[in-house]
Amino acid sequence: MLNRREVTKGGGKIAAKGVVAYVGGSVALRLAKMNSTSTSYTVETEDARFHLFHGFHGEGSRSGQTLSPDLAETKLDGFFLETGAFQYLLPDGTITISALRDTKFYKDVFPYLEKNNIPMLLEDIPLTKERYASYFLGQHALEIGAVIAGAEMAAPGGKHHEKMTRREMLKRTAGGALLGWGGTALMKYPAIADDELFRQPWAEGIRNALGSTEFMHPEDLLVAFRNAMVAEKLLYFAQQKSAEGVRKPNIGIAIGAAHSFISEYLKEGRNYSTAFINRYPDGVLSTAFGEDYDTFLPTLVEIKNDGGTKTARIYTDPNLTRETRTVEGNRPSGESRA
pLDDT in tens, 6-53: 444 444 555 555 555 555 555 554 544 554 455 678 899 999 999 988
* Cα 210 from Cα 190, distance rounded (Å): 9
Strand-strand pairing, 49-55 and 250-256: parallel
Considering only CA atoms, which of 208, 254, 239 is closest in space to residue 46? 239
**Of residues 55, 118, 104, the one with CA closest to residue 252:** 118
DSSP state letters, 241-253? HHHTT-SS-EEEE
Phi, psi for residue 265 in degrees, rounded to 5: -65, -40
**pTM (2 decimals)?**
0.77
Neighbours of 269 (CB within 10 A): 15
pLDDT on residue 220: 77
Residue 80: CB atoms within 10 Å: 24
Name 250's bridge partners.
Answer: 49
3-class SS of residue 146? helix
**Consecutive 10-residue averages of pLDDT for the chain (338 residues):** 45 55 52 54 90 67 48 79 82 81 77 86 82 67 72 67 71 74 72 70 74 74 89 96 91 84 90 90 86 89 82 92 63 42
pLDDT value of residue 336: 41
**Could you give the C-alpha distances from 26 to 20, 31, 166, 215, in angstroms and in order?**
10, 9, 39, 20
**pLDDT score of 40:** 74
Measured CA to CA in angstroms, residue 9 lies from 46, 149, 159, 207 at distances of 51, 12, 12, 31
pLDDT computed for residue 64 by the predictor: 47
Question: Which residues on adjacent β-strands are paired with residue 259?
Answer: none
pLDDT tens-place string over residues 62-94: 344 555 555 566 788 999 998 877 888 888 878
pLDDT computed for residue 1 by the predictor: 42
Length of the chain as a residue count: 338
> Which one-letter DSSP state was computed for residue 77?
S
Q: What is the reported pLDDT for 108?
A: 75
Rounded Cα–Cα distance for residues 178 and 143 (Å): 9
Report whether 179 contacts 147 (CB < 8 A): yes
